Copies of this chain bind each other. A is one copy, B any other.
Amino acid sequence: MKKAAVIMAGGAGTRLWPLSRRSRPKQLLHIVEGRSLIYKTYERLNASFSPDEIYVIALAEHLPAIAEELPALPPTNLIGEPTGRDTANAVALSAAILHERDPDTIMGIFTADHLIRPTDQFVEIIRTGFAAAEKNADALVTFGIKPTEPHTGLGYVQRGEPLSPGVWHVVSFKEKPDLETARQYVSSGDYYWNSGMFVWRTETILNRLHKHMPETHGAVTKLAQGWSTEAGQKLARDLYPLLPKISIDFAVMEKAPEVLVVEMALDWLDVGNWTALPSVHGTDAAGNTNAAKRVTTLSSKNNIFVTEGDHLITAIGVDDLVVVHSPNATLICHRNEVQRIKDLVEQLGQEYDGFYS
């Protein structure tokens, strides 16, 4: 069967403002070893897939920047959504397009904004996932991250009976739990973090979409047929924005009769906000994280400093700050307050009519 790896890069993301902007979402920021998260995702997948087999689905307006980040990808492997309609529609559109090109395809769905290490273990786990989807034609396969802490910001997947080495039947999907529940999940050993990564035959996922999201299924089937034509693109701009906005978990996974989970027991990091950077970049003796070429500090500890270029950041006598410099805006935020960055960006949108958004 034909293999395909689809990177979903639809996130807009204000939580890494002021580096992330509407026009430059976080997966395009060069914040990991001088590379972007989407490049790191591509690089990791490229250990299992040829560039011809790797696809990206993202907002159409971001495709030029993505093409620049990933010059090895064939232009026809970049799928532009006219607008963001959540993961169910992104999965549906990419599945329909792949299925139209070759109905005998197994596709993996991968997130663009997570860091996963090491790559050799990742390659093994992906192989296990694709093999499971090939052997079990009707199954939807999800990857479950082995939890390292009782995280309350993630959904969980409960596993049941084992099927084959590294693969289990799924009993249920769980929404973000409270801390007590999360602790029980983790100590039981039967729960995984929901990774947002999947693998299935295009035929199988399209069948499930046909059942649970008939409108979306009808639309993406039609769009896939004329995708490469001017008329098809015009139709996409008309139809796609009308599709119901919903996640693939709610729309399909929780209702599917046969779901499998492949254990992913490795370093997995959601770079969801600036406080994830110490895990990416490490910290110096004073607890400072320098995601910046030029930082000089006196008597300052547990800060996170971020810039992309040669701009120098200096600090004297300050602790527990997130300091982010961008060419036209600077953020100074207490590290316990990063969840309020989205409020700030919303306020700025009103004050400056989107200039800094």
Residue ranges of A at the interface with B (Cβ–Cβ < 8 Å): 18, 294, 296, 298-299, 310-318, 321, 323, 325, 328-334, 336-338, 340-341, 343-344, 347-348, 351-352, 356
Q: What residues of B have a CB within 8 angstroms of the CB of A329 in the complex?
A: 311-314
Q: A296-B347, A296-B348, A340-B298 are in contact. Are A334 and B312 (CB under 8 A)?
A: no
User: Which of B311, B328, B334 contacts A330 (CB under 8 A)?
Assistant: B311
Q: Quick one: given A312-B330, A325-B330, are A337 and B299 in contact (CB under 8 Å)? A: yes
Query: Closest CB of chain B to A349's CB: distance in Å?
Result: 11
Nearest-CB distance from A317 to chain B (Å)? 4
Q: Give the distance in Å from the alpha carbon of A317 to the alpha carbon of B343 in the complex.
A: 13
Bound Cα distance from A317 to B337, whole angstroms: 6
Q: How far is the CB of A243 from chain B (nearest CB, A)?
A: 35
A316 touches B330 (CB 8 A): no
Chain B's nearest CB lies how many Å from the CB of A295? 10
| Cβ contacts under 8 Å, A18 to chain B | 312, 314
- Shortest C-beta distance, A294 to chain B (Å), equals 8
CA distance A79 to B42 in the complex (A): 63
Please tell me if the beta carbons of B311 and A333 are within 8 angstroms of each other in the complex. no
Knowing A317-B336, A337-B316 are in contact, say whether A296-B344 is a contact too (CB < 8 A): yes
Partner among B318, B331, B341, B351 whose Cβ is within 8 Å of the Cβ of A333: B318
A331 touches B316 (CB 8 A): yes
Determine if A312 and B356 form an interchain contact, defined as CB atoms under 8 angstroms apart: yes
Contact call A328/B316, Cβ cutoff below 8 A: no
| Sample (28) of A-B pairs whose CB atoms are under 8 Å apart | A18-B312, A296-B347, A296-B348, A298-B340, A298-B344, A299-B337, A311-B329, A312-B329, A312-B330, A312-B356, A313-B330, A314-B329, A314-B344, A315-B331, A316-B331, A316-B332, A316-B333, A316-B334, A316-B338, A316-B341, A317-B334, A317-B340, A318-B332, A318-B333, A318-B334, A323-B330, A323-B332, A330-B330
Q: Which residues of B contact A332 (CB under 8 A)?
A: 313-316, 318, 321, 323, 332
Output the nearest chain B residue to A322 by Cβ-Cβ distance.
B316
